[in-house]
Chain A
């Protein structure tokens, strides 16, 4: 069974067993504008919840990418590096960034579900 979770820094995590696919939300891509560059971590590297795992740049902004969960990078979306526009076009589908194996299920509890995230975004927009 898969669950979709969200962080306050606007990353999403699609969780299935102990594997999480991670990207940024539609709200995040819209506020960044046209994405032109993405830097992703190396395979096998460790990421930590709330800490930086990469960088994303648009023509008008640059931002750090924060991992919603701790774990080991098991796959990265290599094609995304050459097609950063996918993050704008399909942030939840072709715009995924990395898959991580995570261990600590407690971390999941600190993330928001879709309804809570929608509410969070509504507040942040004002």
Chain B
């Protein structure tokens, strides 16, 4: 069902008007040898009822988190989302509009994006934010490219306690260019190995890219690392979970130059990993090297406040091969959803979401540490996720899954040294009962 409104009569009239006998006439200037000789070998069209049935049958083969007691995080978090959010962001005027090129007919999306940029500045403490990037990983890659443009240097230092998929994306983005990525290890505490960092840091270092809370959930001493980095006139890029910033110190105050990451935690569903959005905020002095769209507040010709896209000369449609990035479509709707989420939760609500998540995660940490055979390998300086060690971790995960518990992310998939480790996370959706059930089940599995 192609959702076409033209009737047979319309089509006839229109073909006549343009002097064509039939549809084939519209394509007669295409070379014959490329025209398909037979119809596409895909199934024929369906009505809505049947379409629904087909897609719903696939949906039914999925087991969503709601069926489990899940402690999965690792860059994708199942926070509580107010009902009003999907209602507002689903409004057709937001959902079915394009990029706000025509300011006069896009004041709604423009003001919402301006509010999003403002929210990101307030959370991170930075001066300026763009209107979104694809995801946390590409935001890191774009930040690194930005630092290379600003410093005109060659080397990106990155900590291996960064989300492993972000590292892979960074490598891919830089693979076609003449730059070096130097990965530095973490120490016994799970934090950036300072000595290794000092050794890697040199005059040709463009930036240190770190994650805090890092992939293991631990909060890094960003201020100290920034001070070190600045000694070589390099920039500090910090990947972070924006939810943690309701509690943690503003990256700006820690000396960070570019803050980026994934915004999924702010009102996004887990969505099998996408869409979410990438954010990027920086200092005023680096504003013109930012990739992506930016909305500015201005006036209309009668002096009334209005909004429009601005700083466009950085972008591909104007600067073409010299643009700061090739990005065109971004993840506006998800970024706008983050602004609306923050508005709904309010100052107290967002602090609560972060604080409840952190408290529950620390309660889980304490509970796990009391179990024989379980070891929490790093300190409790974490936000809402942490690593714990247990013999045959993979098998344990499988056994718990049979009891409808998803214990967390199996660390062995990403780090050879953590083959017996699990990364577990709590959001405010967890309850004491959930955690106690998990602990009881784990004890059962270990003793059985």
Contacts and interface: CB of A to CB of B under 8 A. Distances in A.
A and B touch in the complex (CB under 8 A): yes
Interface of A: 36-37, 57-62
Interface string B305-321: 00000001110001100
A14 to B, nearest CB: 27
A82 to B, nearest CB: 14
7 contacts: A37-B288, A57-B313, A58-B313, A59-B313, A60-B318, A61-B318, A62-B319
A108 B348 CA distance: 68
Contacts of B318: 60-62
Contacts of A36: 313
Contacts, number: 16
Contacts of A57: 313
A102 to B, nearest CB: 26
Query: Main SS of the interface on chain B?
Result: helix
Instruction: Give 3 nearest A-B pairs by CB, closest first.
Output: A62-B313, A57-B313, A62-B319
A58 B312 CA distance: 9
A15 to B, nearest CB: 31
A34 B312 CA distance: 13
A62 B321 CA distance: 12
Interface in B116-136: none
Interface of B: 288, 312-314, 318-319, 322
Nearest to B319: A62
B314 to A, nearest CB: 8
Contacts of A58: 313
Nearest to B312: A59
A36 B313 CA distance: 10
Given A36-B313, A59-B313, 14 more contacts: A37-B288, A37-B313, A57-B313, A58-B313, A59-B312, A60-B312, A60-B318, A61-B313, A61-B318, A62-B313, A62-B314, A62-B318, A62-B319, A62-B322
Which among A37, A58, A59, A60 has the highest number of chain B CB atoms within 10 Å? A59
Nearest to A36: B313
Which among B313, B314, B318, B322 has the highest number of chain A CB atoms within 10 Å? B313
Contacts of B288: 37
Contacts of A61: 313, 318
A59 B318 CA distance: 9
Nearest to A39: B288
A37 B288 CA distance: 10
A81 to B, nearest CB: 13
B149 to A, nearest CB: 13
Nearest to A58: B313
Contacts of A60: 312, 318
Nearest to B323: A62
A37 B314 CA distance: 11
A58 B319 CA distance: 11
A111 B340 CA distance: 58
A39 to B, nearest CB: 8
B130 to A, nearest CB: 17
A62 B322 CA distance: 10
Nearest to B320: A62
A58 B314 CA distance: 11
Contacts of B314: 62
Contacts of A37: 288, 313
Which among A36, A61, A62 has the highest number of chain B CB atoms within 10 Å? A62
A37 B313 CA distance: 9
A35 to B, nearest CB: 11
A87 to B, nearest CB: 14
Nearest to A61: B318
A103 B155 CA distance: 38
Nearest to A62: B313
Which among A36, A37, A57, A61 has the highest number of chain B CB atoms within 10 Å? A57
A97 B113 CA distance: 35
